[in-house]
Structure 1
């Protein structure tokens, strides 16, 4: 088979000529790819825009919740005796608290000097409160560890552990819950008869380490009894965690906590400013460098920007308190960003007549600023919303470029094949002509 390479016969740099010709042919393809790349950049920019809008929507949602503006904080006069926490449902005010007794779990143990004899085996009935006894069995020759494990597996409302006091191993049996109702009775049979124990009349080899007791306290002079040291149902919205008895009455205070609202408003302003900054950056145009932002001139972005700014353009009619953001120390700068005057905001939150919660959430009849913004963004981000419609259109355009680019690349392959065939033929013709010329030259020389 003959081996040929374009340009060998003619001496032409066919490879270079082909590359230059194809570079010219590829110029329209490069323009298509650049156009597609610009739409991909727009899609990415809209993705950033969607993320920033979702963040602003979440921040607006936080301002529509009543708990944001009704948060409370509670403090205890004697934190060594008890700690306290409160929720939005707690009423502000002061309470006199006196703790006289903590809730305790019953704890019973075997002798501190003599190890129990388990060689004969037997059974123990465990009765928790007024419940039905549960039986624990131990085979003859069983160990103290075996008895401990059997008690723990019985689901009798008690737990067992082994403690070495330095002289002997003691089996300690404890109620799983505190309170007088969690007291338990033990009745041993057979070789475990020495494990019998009645908290009402302690006797025998088992000893009482701790009695089951209810917590006792008074709130503003009212006697309160609970089975647990965590008391969350005595004062609405307030949870007391008892740690030790008090020496006398001590004060517990529930006060307004405007820090939650302040933080929510600061977060809202931050999210709004991030979105505003993103829109300004993506739609900018630098006259000196003649460089435009990715979404410069995009009608969809201009519509989003206009709708968001329109939310704050006018006072809200129908509110009995504050009607403008400025009433809460919030202003919109000339560049569209939001500014919060913390001093004015604190003053407005402390003034009940301002009804700052309604300014953001509304009053049930009209929507506040945050509620209106939340709804507007939700509509824009919906499957049939403005943002989705715009990104769907961009995606369709990108896909159309894919098919156009694919078709153009197939055309280029054919063009390159045609050029290659033409130059191969030209090379062969020029090679033949060169051979003929050499032959004629030789024949003329012989004449």
Structure 2
């Protein structure tokens, strides 16, 4: 880059002159930067629309899924027993009596100062699960901590814990090895042996719980419940946890100790509030997207001081693709269903401005009069909205996604052109600066010559009229 010491020869402010010239030279680049900024702003708006369209597709898709609107509520007559109903449940009532809760097996060894040895090395510990599979571990030392670490690293049927158990007669600290099943219920039962898996198989390993002072604190057991208790149809239901999943299709029951032994009535009824909320949420999400599109395509009219009106468009004004998305969503939400039922009959009403309102009273009345038909109509509308919103927001093929990709391509191209202008302007500044530096040097030389000539002229003899 040329170096300029500002106007030494000419006295001119060369830096300011060059900066002014370059400001004019840079105008095309500024226009490119402005165009790129507009593309970035437009992409921000489009990404916002895409987020709203994707959210609408997700919400509507859930409502359109099979049985998604078959919402039911399960209630229990006993405080210690709770029930939940899924979409596959059927309204009705049944009685259940929980007689036993699930339990996780817990064993504790006799107090130990150190883990026993066998042949001079730490003895092996073998755990046998309910299926008969053995997990043999050999601790790194006779430290109880190493035994705990070995058991927990083995991935066997139990986890280990060291528990303080006082001291022996000499004051040496004693500890118990607590073993807890990794699974609840009868399937989590295990046995613990001091010895190798081969010794367990041969019947020569010592049962760890057979040592004096050891105990099975809590045996493994399944939860049990009775259906039709006290009748000839009495049926025992078991569970590895205290939750009886699908005790009847679609209904699960969870018990605590407070509910044991009590005959409990479980009632399954339609969840009108839940269905109404889904309908309301669907309309709100539709309005959210349509409102965002409306804001982006709105034309604002203003009146100037001279009385001349002007119009300003939004960032998406004139974009037929975006307007097409709005039309597709609107059509999906207000078009009659396949059986000729108008959405307004179930409370989804279109307004003059193109948005929708949700009439909860009308929806509830329709749901009461025809539960299945109303759910079917809402599911169909939700399905159409899902399709329209997905067509707009799908990651690769969505119309908004493609608009964003196109704008991004334009922005990238503008960025490349801007970068090219950076080098062009740098080269131009160097050339202009060199030209003005040369001019400054030339002017400095002329000024030097002028000064010399002036001094020479001043040194010439002077003559008057009287001089002869």
TM-score of the pair, normalised by structure 1: 0.74
Per the alignment, residue 92 of structure 1 pairs with 91
For the residues of structure 2 that align with 1:27 and 1:42, how far apart are their CA atoms? 23
Maintained 8 Å contact 1:179/1:227: no
CA RMSD of aligned residues (A): 4.7
Number of residue pairs matched?
Answer: 423
Per the alignment, residue 422 of structure 1 pairs with 435
Per the alignment, residue 271 of structure 2 pairs with 257
For the residues of structure 2 that align with 1:337 and 1:242, how far apart are their CA atoms? 47
5 Å matches for 1:51-62?
51-62=51-62
Per the alignment, residue 438 of structure 1 pairs with 451
Maintained 8 Å contact 1:181/1:227: no
Q: Does 1:369 align with 2:401?
A: no
**Residues 57-92 of structure 1: per-residue CA shift (max 9 Å, x gap):** 111111111342112221111122x22222112211
For the residues of structure 1 that align with 2:156 and 2:426, how far apart are their CA atoms? 83
**Residues 271-303 of structure 1: per-residue CA shift (max 9 Å, x gap):** 222212221222223322855422222232222
Q: Does 1:72 align with 2:80?
A: no
For the residues of structure 1 that align with 2:432 and 2:155, how far apart are their CA atoms? 89
Give, in angstroms, the shift of residue 56 of structure 1. 1.1
Maintained 8 Å contact 1:26/1:412: yes
Give, in angstroms, the shift of residue 159 of structure 1. 8.3
Secondary structure of the equivalent of 2:446? helix
Per the alignment, residue 5 of structure 2 pairs with 5
5 Å matches for 1:270-289?
270-288=284-302
Maintained 8 Å contact 2:125/2:136: yes
Maintained 8 Å contact 1:145/1:162: yes
5 Å matches for 1:289-328?
291-316=312-337, 318-319=338-339, 323-328=341-346
**Residues 86-120 of structure 1: per-residue CA shift (max 9 Å, x gap):** 21122111112334555667888999xx99xx999
**Residues 313-358 of structure 1: per-residue CA shift (max 9 Å, x gap):** 4312x33xx7222122122233333322222223333343562332
CA shift in 2, pair 1:419/1:135, >3 Å: closer
Maintained 8 Å contact 1:93/1:255: yes
Per the alignment, residue 364 of structure 1 pairs with none
Maintained 8 Å contact 2:127/2:190: no
CA shift in 2, pair 1:377/1:108, >3 Å: closer
For the residues of structure 2 that align with 1:333 and 1:421, how far apart are their CA atoms? 69
Maintained 8 Å contact 1:148/1:160: yes
5 Å matches for 1:190-269?
217-221=225-229, 222-226=234-238, 228=240, 229-244=242-257, 249-269=263-283
TM-score of the pair, normalised by structure 2: 0.71
Give, in angstroms, the shift of residue 392 of structure 1. 2.9
5 Å matches for 1:107-122?
none
For the residues of structure 2 that align with 1:36 and 1:180, how far apart are their CA atoms? 65
Per the alignment, residue 344 of structure 1 pairs with 362
Q: Where does the alignment leave 5 or more consecutive residues of structure 2 unmatched?
A: 169-174, 195-199, 304-310, 463-468
Per the alignment, residue 45 of structure 2 pairs with 45
For the residues of structure 1 that align with 2:184 and 2:354, how far apart are their CA atoms? 59
Secondary structure of the equivalent of 2:93? strand
Per the alignment, residue 380 of structure 1 pairs with 392
For the residues of structure 2 that align with 1:25 and 1:35, how far apart are their CA atoms? 17
CA shift in 2, pair 1:404/1:183, >3 Å: closer
